[in-house]
Every structure is written in structure tokens, then in C-alpha cells.
Structure 1
Amino acid sequence: MTAKKFKCAVIQLHPEPMQMEANFQRARAFIQQAATEGAELAVLPEYCLTSWVPLDPRFADAADDRTYLTKFCELAKKCNINIVPGTFVEKHVSPDEEGGKKMLYNVAYFISNTGEVLGSYTKKNLWHTERAHLEAAGHNPHSVIDTPLGKVGLLICWDLAFPEAFRALVTQGANIIIIPTFWTLEGLSEAALSFNPNSETIFLQSTVVSRAYENIAAIIFSSAGGREGSRFAGLSQITMPLMGPIAKAEGTHEQMVIGEIDLQILEDAEDSYKIRADLAQPDYHYAVRPKI
């Protein structure tokens, strides 16, 4: 691993439902500001242009629109900044269905600072309320993307709960794992919330940090924002082993935080913990190795 430092901007955008152009314009303003402040990477949250409104007929219609992916590519080139523009719901035709059934998927992209799409990831682990509207990526393998900043893995929101997804990426050499998220406080049952109404906050605060340590990886977690007192969890952050959060959103409102990622920290953490070295051993003792 070549030690390198770079600034990353995590944008906790508040996606107004189906206000795609207005959401894009605010995202663009944040990205332009990030580039002015020297950031080499900007990350937006899941569903950043549409919000999660699957019952709105315009939501599925937007899945045919590739205009905004092109706009983000043009913006990346103009601002000389790498961008993960949240996620897009996309329609794909299933080759297994007679007549070509159209299916909706949730897809994240990595766009280079030259405006080129370097790779993508389709969400595998759907949250329960997504399953009536979206298809999961199933057994398609996780893959690492070679980028100007290093080897990057993409995950989306509820993937955070599955350590196997992270293992599948780090065993391929990913040093940076980026997670666009639309995390709300509404997912738990009343019975669960009766034990602790702050459970989701504890989940995020502990799990994001744990994933950084247990995988020796920089975790970039961009969550959707909202107005204070809204349903959004917030907690967008950049987290590193040895360090914990190096930049973190305060409150759930729309905002941007910038942190400097020093990949030397990963080398020093691995020298101490040797987690990746153990994973690479041919006689690694856990039988279930990631084949996702």
C-alpha cells in the first residue's frame, strides 16, 4: 500500500421527495465547495435525488432517466474531483424472465475526477420495506474498484449490518469502503423501541467504527439528512482504525463535513493487528470464507 493523504467530503444531503433537479443543484453546490476546499472525493447519500418514495409513480419512472449520472460525470471532470453520487434506482431487463421482465435495482457508482465511471455496485442486502419494490443483486460477487485514490469497495445502507460484505471486499484488497445510506429511525417495531428509543443511533455509532477496526479500512458513511427532529438518523462520518471518526456530522440537518484520510494509518494498524495477514493465510481457520 502506498501511503497517501487526501481530503474527502461527506455530504449529508436532505433529499426532497422527487425534487430531482433541486436536489442535484444543492448537491452540485456542496461538491463545488468541496473541490474549492481541496477535497479529492465527494460522497452523497442513498436516494439522494429522489428520496425513498416507492409509492410515488414518478419514483419508478425516474429509473429510466440517466441524465443525472451524466451530469455528475460532467461535474466531476469540471471540478477535478472523484464522486460517489449516492445511489440511483435503475430498471434492468431480467434475461431469465420470458418477455424480459423489467426489475428495479439500487445502484451506486464511482466516478473519477476525469468524469469516467470506474465501477458500480448493486445493493445486495435490502431493508425489509425495500423488498416489495426492489430486487437484490443476489449472488453477483462483490468487486473492488481501482481508483485514483486506491482500491475502493462500494456498499449501500443495510449492507452495513453484514460483516461478510466487508470481508469480501477487503480480501480483494479494498482499503476504502464507501457506504451511501438512507438510514431513518422508523425501522424498528414499537416493542423494540420500548427497550431503547436511541437504539438506531447506538447501532450506527458502534457498527461503523467496528467495521473500520475489524477490516483495517477507511469507512466513508454518507447518510441522508433532514430537518432537526425528523426521521433521519444522520451520523455521516469518516472513520479509521486507530482513530475512530476523523470527521462526523453534528445533528441530522443537511451539511457537509470534510476529513483528511491518511492511508498510512491503515498500514500502521495492520502492522499491529495483522488482521489482513491472517485473512490471507491459506489455512485460515474459518470455513465460511466470503464468496459473495
Structure 2
Amino acid sequence: MAPVHKIALVQLHPRALAVQDNYARAEAFIRDAAAKGCALAVLPEYHLTSWVPDDPNFGAACAESASYLQKYQSLAKELSICIVPGTIIEEAPKDGDDSLHNIAYFISSDGSILGRYQKKNLWITERKHLVSSAHEPHQAFDTPLGRIGLLICWDLAFPEAFRELISDGADIICVPTFWSLKDVSDEGYALNKNGEALFLQSTIVSRAFENTCAVVFVNAGGPPERGEETAFAGMSQLGMPHLGAVGKLGQAEGMSIVELDMDVLRIAEDNYKVREDMQKEGWHYAFTQDRGSGSNSKL
């Protein structure tokens, strides 16, 4: 019998630069998730600082947020729960380099770090502030829930990223996100004010089907006050082949606890044989799986 994992989708509303407050609310959600038997809790991108790079205090908030990785490690060990703490903005490790990296981590239930991923596909407004992981390969890693990969937000738009993780054996792909309904131009918004929600609705489940994998998508949410509008798309969900969007949230801050039945992934692969085809000699898209050096590995 394949295992069933209980996962908490923590759709936090990140207050700008309020690192301590954002962590306190994230911690409360995670403690609740652990009390309800969850094996994994996933938070949104930029959940500690929000994304306000032009604020003069943004750099200081990022420096402060980097120390919270250890807090999440301690929390994971205390509660025996795995945590993907959204993303944490870190300064480049080289002296004299003032660039910023947007990093997602996978923390195991014993507090150890099993996976680290630096955002590769930067959104347009991020490119003057962040550095991409560029040609570093997407790599999966083993966890108590199985083999997992990490992607971040705009990576969702690139099926190549998913394919590379699938070729490395990933069954579950966690995607912390900071996705707004108003990230497009006025012209784009005028065409359809819900266009970004349509993008997410169309893409998340498609990625699950076409890769016979589970997509744990966790976005930022809006203010919890009833009736107050927010620009955040929300829509955190577990994307599954055959089942579609499981436990999908609206736009407000909140938490959805979902059950990920690994047998569903087996059934999907039995039906679609995506992984089986990818492993065949002479696979006609083999260049997308080249994990070595050279131009073909630039995914």
C-alpha cells in the first residue's frame, strides 16, 4: 500500500518588512499543522519580508530574515515535521558582491536541510535585484515523504524545469510562490482582470498531469479581514493527476490540509507512462535531460 502524506498549505499574508510578525504567524500555522498530524508544511515565497525591493529598509530586513532558517530547523525538530519555509532572501556569499539570492529550503523532521534551491527563472521586476541560479541543474533529493524537487514561483511557467526534476526521480514538486493578480501590464489586466488566476488554474494541474507528479503550490494570500480586497491570487493547492486541484484556497490568508496519496501517482504513471517513455533509449527529447556540461544542459 502506497503511503498517504498529510500536507499543510500555509497561505500566509506577508506584511512588508515585518519579519518577526510574519514568522510568528507562520510558526502558529506550523504548530497547528503538526498537531493535526501533518508530515510537511509549506510556506509562500518572500513570506518573511514581502517583496518591496525599493524600500530603503529592504536590505536590512533580508539580512534579518536569513537568521530565521535556524529557527525553522529548530521548529521542525521540535515538532517532528518537515518544513519548506517558503523562500528566504540571502546575500551572495562572495565578499564585495551585494547581489541577492532567492532561496528555497527543504528541512527534514529532524531539523536537517535536505534540499536547497536558488530561483532560476526570475520574474521581470526581480531581474535588477536578484541573481538567477542560471545553468545550475535542477536536482531532486530524498526526504521522509519520498523524492522531492523545489521550484519557485515563475519557474512554474517553464515545463523544462519540471521535466529535469522528473528525470532526476522527483515525485513531489513544491513551489513556494508570491503571485499577484496585477503582475501584468494595464493592457493585460484590462483583457481579463482574473487572467493571472486563469494562468495558475490552467498550469498547476497541467504540470501534475504531464509529469505524473504532485505539485504542492503555495502562494501568498491577502489580508484575513472579511470583505477586504487583495491583489494576491492565493489559490494554494495540491495539483494531482486524475484528481485535479485538491484543497484549493481562495485569496485570503489561511491553511489548507490535504492528503497526498502516493498511489494516485502510481496509477497516473501506469496510465500515461511518462517516466517510462523518458527512460527509454533514444528518447526523442533526450536533450532536455542532459545533466552534464554543454549548451544542452542550460534549462
State if a TM-score over 0.5 links the two structures.
yes
Structure 1 residue 116 corresponds to structure 2 residue 112: yes
**How far did residue 100 of structure 1 move?**
3.9
Q: Which amino acid aligns with 1:158?
A: W
CA distance in 2, matches of 1:101, 1:72: 27
The DSSP-based 3-state class of the residue aligned with 1:182 is coil
Q: Which amino acid aligns with 1:242?
A: H
Report Cα offsets for 1:93-120 as digits up to 9, x if no partner.
44xxxx7423211000000011111110
Q: Which amino acid aligns with 2:44?
A: P
Q: CA RMSD in A?
A: 1.3
Q: Give the TM-score normalised by the residue count of structure 1.
A: 0.95
Superposed counterparts of 1:276-287, under 5 Å: 276-286=275-285
**How far did residue 3 of structure 1 move?**
2.0
Aligned residue number for residue 246 of structure 2 = 246
Report Cα offsets for 1:112-159 as digits up to 9, x if no partner.
011111110000000000111111111111111211110000000000
Q: Give the strand-richer structure, 1 or 2.
A: 1
2:220, 2:234 within 8 Å by CA — same for their partners in 1?
yes
| Runs of 4+ with deviation above 4 angstroms | none
Q: Which amino acid aligns with 2:187?
A: A
The DSSP-based 3-state class of the residue aligned with 1:238 is strand
Aligned residue number for residue 229 of structure 2 = 229
CA distance in 1, matches of 2:56, 2:163: 37
Report Cα offsets for 1:51-105 as digits up to 9, x if no partner.
00101233222333432101001110111100000001101144xxxx7423211
Larger deviation, residues 63-72 vs 126-135: 63-72
CA distance in 1, matches of 2:180, 2:186: 15
Structure 1 residue 33 corresponds to structure 2 residue 32: yes
Q: Which amino acid aligns with 1:248?
A: K
CA distance in 1, matches of 2:128, 2:110: 37
Structure 1 residue 178 corresponds to structure 2 residue 174: yes
Superposed counterparts of 1:117-266, under 5 Å: 117-227=113-223, 228-249=228-249, 251-266=250-265
**How far did residue 239 of structure 1 move?**
1.4
CA distance in 1, matches of 2:195, 2:74: 40
CA distance in 1, matches of 2:62, 2:193: 35
1:62, 1:89 within 8 Å by CA — same for their partners in 2?
no
Q: Which amino acid aligns with 1:28?
A: E
CA distance in 1, matches of 2:129, 2:98: 12
CA distance in 2, matches of 1:191, 1:110: 38
CA distance in 2, matches of 1:67, 1:93: 14
2:49, 2:62 within 8 Å by CA — same for their partners in 1?
no
1:93, 1:102 within 8 Å by CA — same for their partners in 2?
no
Q: Give the TM-score normalised by the residue count of structure 2.
A: 0.93
Report Cα offsets for 1:248-282 as digits up to 9, x if no partner.
11x21110000010111111110010011111112
The DSSP-based 3-state class of the residue aligned with 1:166 is helix
Q: 1:102 aligns with which of 98, 103, 112?
A: 98
Stretches of structure 1 that go unaligned for 5 or more consecutive residues are none
**How far did residue 287 of structure 1 move?**
5.5
The DSSP-based 3-state class of the residue aligned with 2:92 is strand
The DSSP-based 3-state class of the residue aligned with 1:102 is coil
